[in-house]
Amino acid sequence: MAISRSPVTQVVAIGIGAALFFVLGRFVAIPSPIPNTSISIQYAVLAVFAVLYGPLVGALAGLIGHVLIDATGYGIWLSWEIASGVFGLVVGLILLRNALEDGVFDKVLALRFSLAVVVANALAWLVVAPLGDVLIYSEPANKVWVQGAFAFASNTVTAIVLGLLVLSLYARTRTRTGSLSREA
Domain boundaries of the chain, sorted by first residue: 7-172
DSSP state of 101: G
Which pLDDT score is estimated for 179?
55
CATH number of 7-172: 1.10.1760.20
Mean pLDDT in consecutive groups of 10 residues from the start of the chain, 184 residues? 76 97 94 88 97 97 97 91 98 93 91 98 98 96 95 97 97 74 57
pTM reported for the whole predicted model: 0.91
